[in-house]
Structure 1
Amino acid sequence: MNTNDEKIQWHPAFDAALQIEFGDEAKYLEFDPEHLISKKPMQIDVLVKNEKHVKLRKNIGRIFRQYNIIEYKSPEDDLDIDDFYKTYAYACLYKSDTETVDLIPADELTITFVCYHYPRNMLRKLEQDRKFSVEQQDSGIYYLIGDAIPI
């Protein structure tokens, strides 16, 4: 029992136990405990909060709920599959990084991508791998159908 206020560091012990568990096969694996995900601080391009739950009429905002994550790509940038997963991860991290459990309900999140070029390869990959479908809602506005989070 830990009687002082210091928190016990369980991850190093878990890492060692995991390597022992793999036994002879551990030599084929690379273990990188507490691997840093990003070299720079993670940041959402734009977070739009709709705290009053106003139903927006503007075409770009019709999908919006209370917490809306927006990823912007400049005219020189393409939107690719890794951008999709990075932004999706940001939405999940935003939902989970709160003072209390489930403070941000998952059904109050949306993800919006803004880009200058139709992301054909990214959409094809999502249709193929995740079975998403793409619906055109308005000129230049498309919804990805098939995920719990509106995109």
Structure 2
Amino acid sequence: MAEPESPALESTTAWHPMLVALLEFYLPSGWRLSPELLLNRMPLRVDIVVLRLVDQPAGDARKLHSIFGHLRNHTLIEHKGPTDDLQPEDVLTLLAYGALYMRHNKLLAPEELCLMVIADRIPAGFAEQVERHRGTFAPLGGGLWRGELNGMLLHGVETREACRQSPTEHLLYTFSRAYLKGAGQILPLDPEETRVYNALYQQVEQFRRQRGTMAMKDYELARQSYEEVLEQLIAQLPPEKLLARLTPEQRLEGLTPEQRFEGLTPEQRFEGLTPEQRFEGLTPEQRFEGLTPEEILRAIPPEVRELIAKKLDR
């Protein structure tokens, strides 16, 4: 008999809190989502659990039908990030999840439970392992798979294909391997998707602050891909919205002193800038170029004028 494997140090891929945030945002009414549900005293933990609330009517999903359209009263979701592959042995993990969950919640009917896998792709080896356990698992098209494992519904979502089938599945591209090679291909995003996309990465940052960078796999990949999309989003903004996102230094970068002040009144030239920012990179002559003595005086804050007057009186 083989020796049992040593338990690995607990770490979470950066994509996991992003998927949790995405599902929570679009979760229909009448359902409850629980991330990282412990199934036993041992470190065996299913990624996401979605429960049907018995005291509320189930609402219709606006988006992510490839996931929410296949929920059962109890749905356990196993998620593989873009850098991880679904393995044949993951079938055994799903079986263990299902059995422990049914035992913990005193479920007798396996048809109440759905086991769901979300990954960039579902390899043939995974489906073959399901068949070895007298189960079934076959593609339906459009990145969706369906079958049965030990009496439980088995549903699969290949993010690389599902994200292309409908605008409602668009954000699943963030969880595909193609996203790491060309994150900008997720564009264009509508205003709601832009807010959601920003919230996904904020979830990653919050998780990192709570547990530390070492507890999160693929953090740098997620950060770089997010920033690539963010740069392109900013580049597509109209001028008035783009200007609002820039720092004073970014607004003036690459401009000559004359270009910086062209068309501005003395007050507008210094509006919103600190004393240091007002004169950064300018010679004394350039700071006052083209201004009359009266205009220069008006641009000086009252307290500075008072200080100058006191020095002159001495």
Fold equivalence (TM over 0.5):
yes
Q: Give how far 1:147 is off.
A: 4.0
State the alpha-carbon separation in 2 of the partners of residues 124 and 134 from structure 1.
Answer: 8
| More off after superposition, 134-143 vs 82-91 | 134-143
> Residue 81 of structure 1 corresponds to which residue in structure 2?
88
Q: Give how far 1:91 is off.
A: 1.6
Q: Give how far 1:84 is off.
A: 1.4
Q: Give how far 1:88 is off.
A: 1.8
1:65-80 residue pairs with structure 2 within 5 A?
Answer: 65-80=72-87
Question: Which residue, 69, 86, 101 being the options, matches 1:62?
Answer: 69
> Residue 126 of structure 1 corresponds to which residue in structure 2?
130
State the alpha-carbon separation in 2 of the partners of residues 123 and 94 from structure 1.
Answer: 22
1:17-28 residue pairs with structure 2 within 5 A?
Answer: none
Deviations 1:74-109 (A, max 9, x none): 1111111211111221121011124xxx35743311
Give me the identity figure in percent: 21
> Residue 139 of structure 2 corresponds to which residue in structure 1?
136
The change in CA–CA distance for 1:125 and 1:55 in structure 2 (over 3 A counts) is: farther
Bigger radius of gyration, 1 or 2?
2
3-state SS, counterpart of residue 84 of structure 2: coil
Q: Give how far 1:55 is off.
A: 7.5
The number of residue pairs the alignment matches comes to 115
The change in CA–CA distance for 1:55 and 1:149 in structure 2 (over 3 A counts) is: farther
How high is the TM-score relative to the length of structure 2?
Answer: 0.32
State the alpha-carbon separation in 1 of the partners of residues 152 and 59 from structure 2.
Answer: 17
CA contact (8 A) 1:70 1:111 kept: yes
3-state SS, counterpart of residue 134 of structure 1: strand
Question: Which residue, 45, 48, 51 being the options, matches 2:50?
Answer: 48
Give the structure, 1 or 2, with the largest relative contact order (CA under 8 Å, sep 6 or more): 1
3-state SS, counterpart of residue 70 of structure 1: strand
Instruction: Supply the AA of the counterpart residue of 1:141.
Output: L
State the alpha-carbon separation in 2 of the partners of residues 121 and 149 from structure 1.
Answer: 20
CA contact (8 A) 2:86 2:123 kept: yes
CA contact (8 A) 1:59 1:138 kept: no
3-state SS, counterpart of residue 81 of structure 1: coil
State the alpha-carbon separation in 2 of the partners of residues 94 and 72 from structure 1.
Answer: 17
* Matching of residue 107 in structure 1 with residue 111 in structure 2: yes
Question: Which residue, 146, 151, 170 being the options, matches 1:148?
Answer: 151
Q: Give how far 1:150 is off.
A: 0.2
The change in CA–CA distance for 1:84 and 1:125 in structure 2 (over 3 A counts) is: closer
The change in CA–CA distance for 1:65 and 1:77 in structure 2 (over 3 A counts) is: same
3-state SS, counterpart of residue 98 of structure 2: helix
Deviations 1:30-82 (A, max 9, x none): 9x9xxx99836111100111124737662322321111000000111111121
State the alpha-carbon separation in 2 of the partners of residues 90 and 37 from structure 1.
Answer: 18
> Residue 120 of structure 2 corresponds to which residue in structure 1?
116
Instruction: Supply the AA of the counterpart residue of 2:110.
Output: A
